[in-house]
């Protein structure tokens, strides 16, 4: 399995999500399943079906996050010597020479990419 590049911040976000899923969401859905089961007949119990579906999603996401964190290569962008190149973790400032508008982006791993936060995936063609 290849290493998944993550910034320190990105790895921390994934760890926090994993912790929340294990300590908050998983126990809550187990409780919801128990409550729905206590209502009796499960064959037409929408609450039970919804809780089981949510449990399936949570368990799948836990497995996914554990896999990603297990194969993560955590890179501190501050420790990189970019030598003027645009590399993983770089913060890139672009200026529109026509009107002077300035936009800043950070090059991050696939799991951290979020255009609203101006974070572009390292595997993106524009990175």
pLDDT tens, residue by residue, 55-105: 999 999 999 999 999 999 998 887 877 777 888 888 899 998 999 899 999
**Positive/negative CA dihedral, 25, 28, 30, 32:** negative
Whether the CB-CB separation of 17 and 65 falls below 8 Å is answered with: yes
pLDDT higher than 90, residue 18: yes
Domains and CATH numbers, the chain: 4-75 (1.10.287.180), 77-121 (3.10.50.30)
> Any alpha helices (H) in the chain, and if so which ranges?
8-20, 26-38, 46-70
Report pLDDT for 85: 82
Q: To 10 degrees, the CA torsion angle through 81, 84, 87, 92?
A: 120
pLDDT higher than 80, residue 125: yes
- Residues contacting 112, CB < 8 A, separation 6+: 6, 7, 9, 10, 13, 119, 121
Query: Global pTM?
Result: 0.81
């Amino acid at each position: 399995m290849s290493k998944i590049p993550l910034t320190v911040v990105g790895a921390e976000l994934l760890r926090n999500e994993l912790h929340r899923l294990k300590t908050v969401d998983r126990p809550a859905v187990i409780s919801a399943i128990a409550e729905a089961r206590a209502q009796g007949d499960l064959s037409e119990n929408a609450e039970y079906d919804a809780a089981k579906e949510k449990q399936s999603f949570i368990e799948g996401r836990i497995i996914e996050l554990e896999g990603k964190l297990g194969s993560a290569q955590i890179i501190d962008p501050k420790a990189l010597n970019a030598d003027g190149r645009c590399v993983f973790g770089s913060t890139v400032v672009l200026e529109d020479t026509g009107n002077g508008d300035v936009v800043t982006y950070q090059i991050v791993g696939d799991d951290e990419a979020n255009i609203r936060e101006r974070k572009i995936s390292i595997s993106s063609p524009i990175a």
